[in-house]
Amino acid sequence: MKKVYASAAAALDGLLHDGMSIAAGGFGLCGIPELLIAAIKEAGTKDITIASNNCGVDDFGLGVLLATRQIKKMQSSYVGENAEFMRQFLSGELELEFNPQGTLAERMRAGGAGIPGFYTKTGVGTVIAEGKEHKDFGGETYILETGIVTDLAIVKAWKADTSGNLIFRKTARNFNVPAATCGRVCVAEVEEIVPIGSFDPDCIHLPGIYVHRIIQGQHEKRIEQRTVRSA
């Protein structure tokens, strides 16, 4: 199977449609699939449901899809860095499904592992638990959370080989691995593509069986919050 594509647009060809669901890797602006996000913007795909820890910032990351009104619903755990997100949510233009951060990660992982649901104590007694099944185990109450499976996963890795095995760089691994596994099709953008056999098998973070298409590109590596002090 040919997995290497020449551009983000080529890698997404035939995968995008209005009303689709997408799992996106990244945490803040760390490890975000910025090239694929830009290609989705250019494609004009709309009414998208996106599962991602957060929604970028106003002018970068997933925030650019908010600016063009292409996102219908977000499944997120944190949204505090995006003024347009707040405006759209408060005005009723954007649907929001809040998840505790660990719950969101586990929902993605579970979906990728073929697990339809799991019980967790996180959120019991809060608005998170409203409308969800409750069950007692060992005298403790848990709520049922469902696994997330999406039409597409878009992720960012450091290196890939031509069979799709991925290596992430340090904290940029974050949500990328669970996001990649829960998409029916996964497209990865990387900084470098190397021949098969270049990786020590013990150093591979995500096996290529989960990855269907790969692109190589240049990335901005923007800093989300810069704090400095005078010399």
How high is the pLDDT of residue 220? 84
The pLDDT assigned to 105 comes to 98
Instruction: Give 101-115 pLDDT, tens digit per residue.
Output: 999 999 999 999 999
Reply yes or no on whether the pLDDT at 83 is more than 80: yes
Single-letter residue type at 3: K
- Where does residue 131 rank: exposed (0-12), middle (13-18), buried (19+ CB within 10 A)? exposed
222 within domain boundaries: no
- Helix residue ranges per DSSP H, the chain: 8-12, 34-43, 63-67, 83-90, 101-112, 176-182
Q: Is residue 125 part of a domain?
A: no
Could you read off the pLDDT of 57-71 as tens digits, one per residue? 988 999 999 999 999
Do the Cβ atoms of 108 and 178 come closer than 8 Å?
yes
The pLDDT confidence band at residue 222, using thresholds 50, 70 and 90, is confident
Residue 224 located in a structural domain = no
pLDDT of residue 82: 87
Inform me whether the pLDDT recorded for 231 exceeds 80. no
Q: Which residue has the higher pLDDT, 48 or 228?
A: 48
The total domain count for the chain is 1
pLDDT score recorded for residue 221:
79
User: Is residue 131 in a domain?
Assistant: no
pLDDT tens digits along 125-182: 999 999 999 999 999 999 999 999 999 999 999 999 999 999 999 999 999 999 999 9
Q: Let me know if residue 48 belongs to a domain.
A: yes
In DSSP notation, 61-127 reads: TTHHHHHTT-EEEEEES--TT-HHHHHHHHTTSSEEEE--HHHHHHHHHHHHTT--EEEESTTTTSG
Helix (H) or strand (E) holding 143: strand 140-146
What does pTM read for this prediction? 0.94
Q: 47 lies in a domain?
A: yes
pLDDT tens, position by position, 174-219: 999 999 999 999 999 999 999 999 999 999 999 999 999 999 999 8
Residue 41 belongs to a domain: yes
Domain containing 189 — which CATH number? 3.40.1080.10
Domain range for 207: 8-112+148-216
